[in-house]
Homo-oligomer: A and B are copies of this chain.
């Protein structure tokens, strides 16, 4: 039997005429840096990566990134020193920190005051991409991180990536964090079948080791909230995956 899984797609095209957004990834865990780079390239961004603080500073110098993804735990110097050096010569670049969940929240909190942001490890790729997009959009250094709006619209369904608000037909709907990310991923790929594996890859944390049927479960949750009563927008393609599209 053939498992049919949909090809993967991106929502928007890739600003073919503009110089691409440049992102520097700084993390000493190679596989993680690799994973991030792949995901960010897929967003149409140009990516360079460095494995330590010294390398980061060097790379920043000639790469001149529009944003930096920075692990706060690095072998040679800690993230804060790296940040200091980056800022010294390159004041405005927005930074997305990667930090362990239990790590000193306060220090990070202070840092993000400047308009930077952070995500805790383990993260989901959707999360990182979304935050980065927000940072770049707000920094304005590169005019667009692929889209100018922070709102996704499919039919009468609206999702605001900034406020995390969802509404259908004007009526506000409460969704949990996971539901939100799943819905965002679906809405960024409207009318495109997304396989359970793809969804798992993007929406769940990279170290998630659970059952693939969480996806089914959350689809079920979303349907109860989004499609309840109304014309269904979330559709199952048996043997292939799920897709969202406006009701007729």
Contacts and interface: CB of A to CB of B under 8 A. Distances in A.
A131 to B, nearest CB: 6
Contact of A42 (B37, B39, B110, B114): B114
B6 A113 contact: no
Interface in A86-122: 87, 91-92, 101, 104-106, 108-120
Interface stretch (A62-70, A133-141, A220-228): A133-141
A20 to B, nearest CB: 12
A248 to B, nearest CB: 10
Of A10, A161, A162, A193, the most chain B CB neighbours within 10 A belong to A162
Given A120-B3, A205-B2, A115 B191 contact: no
A21 interface: no
A8 B245 contact: no
A7 B162 contact: yes
Chain A interface: which size bin?
A: 35 or more
A145 to B, nearest CB: 12
Contact of A8 (B87, B112, B164): B112
B238 A162 contact: no
A209 B106 contact: yes
A176 B239 contact: yes
A230 B163 CA distance: 21
A181 to B, nearest CB: 7
A4 B80 contact: no
The 6 closest A-B pairs by CB, nearest first: A38-B114, A7-B134, A42-B115, A177-B239, A113-B201, A4-B177
12 contacts: A2-B204, A4-B177, A4-B180, A7-B161, A8-B134, A14-B140, A38-B87, A42-B115, A109-B200, A109-B201, A162-B192, A163-B191
